[in-house]
Copies of this chain bind each other. A is one copy, B any other.
């Protein structure tokens, strides 16, 4: 349906990814663009400039979700959407999320430059705050868009410095009520996210295109361990109720729980540890922990969580500390729409590219878009499975293959008679 110069596409998209990576709060090769900070806004502006040069129309919603649209023959029919995110955690690489935004714009530009008018309109969405760095909650933009969370929940969020979500949103220049972010079911006929695999499977099997059948069920929790502080020299060991030694037991219990379920896919991580007061000669009085727990199998994830709860009860009892657990999110898995999986495979076959069906262990905005539209994802290979690190790499030709499959898939979906309802 559309003939693309893959070599030229690879060069262009790679150069754009490299330029986007220069908007970073961390020195290269590390990338850091935290929600509503200067570099996040710069990254958004750069992506918008690419979309507008590609002839796409821009709409920004009150939370900053940004929609780039190519009008189709039937402007009123539900559109076909793709998209991902440009925010980046501290010490990230340049491909996570960005491939789906810059690649989506490249796909729509190629369609427009080929003078193809799709049957339905096509959109690229750059979602706000896929990464949970600033407010502890990921996919804030797509959660709100899909009704998975309420505006009140977002308004109650505070960052590590105690700043309210609404204050930093307004300071970043985003206006309007959060109530306007929600989209009705039926707005999109389909949503297909292009993303790097962030795992080793496609590279190991030398398969260029992953067809994502389901997204693992993620859960995350915040723990506050409250002990008793004091002078590190003066309080003898038997008299202590050290919040950090208690927290260390929880960290090891999370690891043990993830390793002890029946599923090999259960993963548990404590990625955030903040110690109060944080002085070498003070016994820690309070420790804040954040736990990430996932599985493609919800029952195994629940088993792991039950083990963690048991450990929390034991540590409280044995160490005389108080531990307060707060659930940040406990999302169910998302199952992809079979019709879209078939379409991705057909588009890949047309380009002579092998495919493999696989789950996504990481979660993505597609997890929430699946609540309001038939959804699936396209994966491209990650070298050595590395992600969330500065040395994250997807080869340019693999990105270009993903973009080509995305363009073909979106055109086929736009032409399809019945996708939804």
Contacts and interface: CB of A to CB of B under 8 A. Distances in A.
Interface string A221-239: 0000000011111111110
Interface residues of A, number: 72
Copies of this protein chain in the complex = 2
A163 B11 CA distance: 40
B271 A280 contact: yes
Contacts of A271: 232, 244, 275, 277-284
A138 B267 contact: no
B387 A231 contact: yes
A95 to B, nearest CB: 12
Contacts of A282: 89-91, 269, 271, 388
Interface string A99-124: 00000000000000000000000000
A60 interface: no
B281 A269 contact: yes
B386 A230 contact: yes
B245 A258 contact: no
A342 B132 CA distance: 63
Contacts of A272: 275, 278-280
Interface-centre pick from A89, A282, A361 (highest chain B CB count, 10 A)? A282
A255 B241 CA distance: 11
A61 interface: no
A216 B232 CA distance: 12
Given A248-B251, A249-B252, A255-B242, A233 B267 contact: yes
A129 interface: no
A294 interface: yes
Contacts of A278: 90, 271-273
A285 interface: yes
A320 interface: no
Contacts of A279: 89-90, 131-133, 271-272, 388
A64 B375 CA distance: 65
A259 interface: yes
Contacts of A236: 264-265, 267
Interface-centre pick from A271, A287, A291 (highest chain B CB count, 10 A)? A271
Given A131-B279, A271-B279, A277-B90, A389 B285 contact: yes
B387 A132 contact: no
A388 B281 contact: yes
A136 interface: yes
A235 B294 CA distance: 11
A86 to B, nearest CB: 16
Contacts of A199: 234-235
Interface in A364-421: 385-389
Given A237-B267, A271-B277, 20 more contacts: A89-B277, A89-B279, A91-B229, A91-B282, A131-B281, A132-B281, A198-B233, A220-B280, A230-B389, A232-B269, A232-B292, A233-B294, A237-B266, A244-B271, A245-B270, A247-B248, A248-B252, A252-B252, A269-B281, A281-B292
9 contacts: A132-B279, A132-B280, A216-B233, A232-B269, A233-B361, A237-B259, A242-B255, A252-B252, A280-B292
